[in-house]
Amino acid sequence: MIALNSVHKIFNKGKASAVTAINNLSLNINSGEFVIIIGANGSGKTTLLNLVAGSIYADEGTIQIGGNDVTRMADHQRSKWVARVFQNPLSGTAPDLSIIDNFRLAAIRTKHKRFSVGVNADFREKVKEHITTLGMGLENKLEQPMGTLSGGQRQALTLLMSVMDSCKVLLLDEPTAALDPRSAEVVMRTADKLIHDFNLTAILITHNLKDAFQYGTRLIQMNEGNTLRDISAEDKKALTQNDIFNWFS
């Protein structure tokens, strides 16, 4: 589903401040995989996600998504396949608009449904149904402004919004970093469920090694712009949480 072939990314190329953020990285992620990426600060995790999302371009190498060469494709063109959720629960939603209007906006952004989404009762019902599955009781608050919700509720809705529009790839860049432990747990469980229910291919960056242990079907540790460890679902079963902690000591 996602294929990086010998990808290289240098920031500030040719200057004294040049940094090799991604170093000749080749990586194949199969459809339906939920890949967790861990690694020290500066190891290239966010740069990798930026390259897949198209917010930056590789200097060398190629990137394919679903068999399409997206190496030079702008991020908005990739958005039909790729959805992204960031750390900050405030980003990606309009605080003054209601929950349902935020879902309408999200749908309009990525679809050609401009004329039907706004007035379509089916759309409202579909949103309501999906929100019910989150188990947060928000299905009865569709008219409530997004800004009045807690960070965890907002992030769970942002996740749902980003996957409802038939995207295939979900990129999660530390989606729980700004949340308290309980909300973080709810959001991680929500992400896990949505990835499964919507049959997505997902990449999650986290510094939370407990989450790295608990979630995902594949675990990658990055170092200096490449993979240091790449652990399959089968091999991950043999790992303990302590083993993962020890990789950082």
Ligand X SMILES: Nc1ncnc2c1ncn2[C@@H]1O[C@H](COP(=O)(O)OP(=O)(O)OP(=O)(O)O)[C@@H](O)[C@H]1O
Residues that bind ligand X (CB under 6 A): 11-12, 19, 21, 39, 41-47
Q: In terms of CB distance, is 99 or 205 closer to ligand X?
A: 205
Q: In terms of CB distance, is 161 or 212 closer to ligand X?
A: 212
Smallest gap, in angstroms, from Cβ of residue 212 to ligand X?
13
Q: How many whole angstroms from its chain centre is CA 115?
A: 28
Q: In terms of CB distance, is 106 or 231 closer to ligand X?
A: 231
Smallest gap, in angstroms, from Cβ of residue 222 to ligand X?
6
Smallest gap, in angstroms, from Cβ of residue 119 to ligand X?
42
Calculate the alpha carbon distances from 114 to 71, 77, 117, 118, 186 in Å.
29, 17, 6, 7, 32
Q: Which of 115, 102, 55 is nearest to 82 (CA)?
A: 55
Smallest gap, in angstroms, from Cβ of residue 172 to ligand X?
13
Smallest gap, in angstroms, from Cβ of residue 29 to ligand X?
17
Is residue 245 a contact partner of residue 212, using CB atoms and an 8 Å limit? no
Smallest gap, in angstroms, from Cβ of residue 213 to ligand X?
18
Q: Which of 171, 90, 93, 100 is nearest to 129 (CA)?
A: 100
| Strand duo 19-29 + 2-11: pairing | antiparallel
Q: In terms of CB distance, is 48 or 200 closer to ligand X?
A: 48
Q: In terms of CB distance, is 47 or 190 closer to ligand X?
A: 47
Q: In terms of CB distance, is 12 or 240 closer to ligand X?
A: 12
